[in-house]
Amino acid sequence: MMAELIVQLANRSYPIYIEAGLLLNSNPLIRHIKNKKVCIVSNDVVAPLYIDKIKHSLAGFDVDVIIIKDGEAQKNLANFELIMSHLLANKHGRDTTLIALGGGVIGDITGFAAACYQRGVDFIQIPTTVLSQVDSSVGGKTAVNHPLGKNMIGAFYQPKAVIIDIDSLNTLPVREFNAGVSEVIKYGILGDIEFFDWLEQNKEAIKEQNPSILQQMIQRCCQAKADIVSEDERESGVRALLNLGHTFGHAIEAQMGYGVWLHGEAVATGMVQASRLAANLGYLTANDVDRIISLISYFDLPVEAPKEMTFEHFIEHMSRDKKNIDGNIRLIIPTAIGKTQIFDNISFEQLKLVI
């Protein structure tokens, strides 16, 4: 059965629909399009698989398509300009709707384009990867990358709806699937020990992509994200906790080159570094750290930083992190499995022990 969650944001509230086979059901999509003009943004891997299904659902609409290359390296200002130019050339107005069909890269760049085009047009998220389904499609963070930092150019801009078809994961490469599970594990570590326990108990079924288990997993993550976003839309408080592992992880992505390490792989290593730091500070027990590493490792995710990266490389990138205040590096650190806090007083000596 289709699950429907609501991100509560007053007059900007929107639904998240979750079900296997949902792309064959046109109702959740067309009910959130206010005019006949639509532009689908996708990439050259996802589009051949699903674009025809979306077009079929939009029979009778004026639909055009933008297809960019696949990969994190494509989330850049050049492709943002490509989208802007296409919308202008094809006479899209303020009443048009953009549809992001793909993973986190497509969702982020399409959302940013929607926020900027004619000062804001509607957009709908149709995420097709684990990472985008459980995290990036929900919450309105949109952005492109810059060579000096990830997601440094962007806006908070909420979609009109998020439509999650679990069946789209059937075509996802194993490496991409596992990288997305990193963000799933994050939810358990940062605020829900019962969910972390559930993940340990159901890890085999998750790896085998059992549809029922996947729907439960995605629904729990989306509900957790929706609750946090409803409380703190613009990351002035509790929403910052969702960045667990990301300060370390973004440094890895920026230094190694976007796409060399997948985002979820970098975050997995970042969560291990944050956990080891928490143990050194007297919060996590050795057993807690072992449990975290064991669950991350089960999904073939890295738990050690790239050998090519020095301490200085990490600090260079971490010092530019968006969460930093007054020049202090702010880190999200687990104080127990299921609890996290923001720290901005970690010394370089303490960081050296885990990097």
What are the catalytic residues? 119, 141, 183, 225, 235, 239, 243, 246, 250, 263
Q: Mapped to the 3 state alphabet, what secondary structure does 255-320 carry?
A: HHCECCECHHHHHHHHHHHHHHHHHHCCCCCHHHHHHHHHHHHHCCCCCCCCCCCCHHHHHHHHCC
Q: Is the dihedral of CA 76, 69, 253, 169 positive or negative?
A: positive
CB burial of 25-58 (b: ≥16 within 10 Å; e: otherwise) equals eeebbeebbeeebbbbbbbebbbeebbebbeebb
Which token pair is 163? 């439509």
Q: How far apart are CA 74 and CA 69, in angstroms?
A: 7
Which token pair is 111? 């959302």
Nearest CA-CA partner of 111 in 89, 86, 83, 90: 83
Backbone angles phi, psi at 61, to 5 degrees: -95, 155
Contact 292, 337 (CB under 8 A): yes
Which token pair is 71? 């990969």
